[in-house]
Amino acid sequence: MKKYLRRAISAWDAGRIEEGEVIFKEGLAATGNDGYVALKYGECLEALGRLEEAKAMLGLALCKLPMEKYKQQAREALDRITRLLAANKDGETAPEKPKMPGTRIGLISCTKRKKDYVCTARELYSESPNFNWWLSFAEGNYAHTYVVSAKHGLMELTQILYPYDRRLDEYNEGEREAWASFIAARLRLDGV
Supply the CATH number for residue 80's domain.
1.25.40.10
Task: List, in order, residues 6 or more apart from 144 with CB less than 8 Å away.
Answer: 97, 99, 103, 105, 106, 192
pLDDT band per the 50, 70, 90 thresholds, residue 108: very high
Indicate whether 82 and 6 sit together in one domain: yes
Indicate whether 79 and 144 sit together in one domain: no
Indicate whether 78 and 14 sit together in one domain: yes
Q: Is residue 98 part of a domain?
A: no
Stretch 170-177: mean pLDDT, rounded? 84
Indicate whether 20 and 53 sit together in one domain: yes
Q: Is residue 97 part of a domain?
A: no
Domain span at 117: 105-189
Stretch 3-24: mean pLDDT, rounded? 82
Stretch 1-19: mean pLDDT, rounded? 81
Q: Is residue 111 part of a domain?
A: yes
Q: Is residue 17 part of a domain?
A: yes
Stretch 12-30: mean pLDDT, rounded? 82
Indicate whether 68 and 129 sit together in one domain: no
Q: Is residue 47 part of a domain?
A: yes
Indicate whether 74 and 129 sit together in one domain: no
Among 37, 57, 87, where does a domain finish? Answer: 87
| Position with higher pLDDT, 91 vs 27 | 27
Q: Is residue 96 part of a domain?
A: no
> Model-level pTM?
0.48
Q: How many domains does the chain have?
A: 2
Indicate whether 136 and 83 sit together in one domain: no
**Which helix (H) or strand (E) segment is 70 a member of?**
helix 68-87
DSSP state of 189: H
pLDDT on residue 152: 81
pLDDT on residue 139: 85
Given CA atoms 7, 154, 129, 144 in this order, what sign does their dihedral have? negative
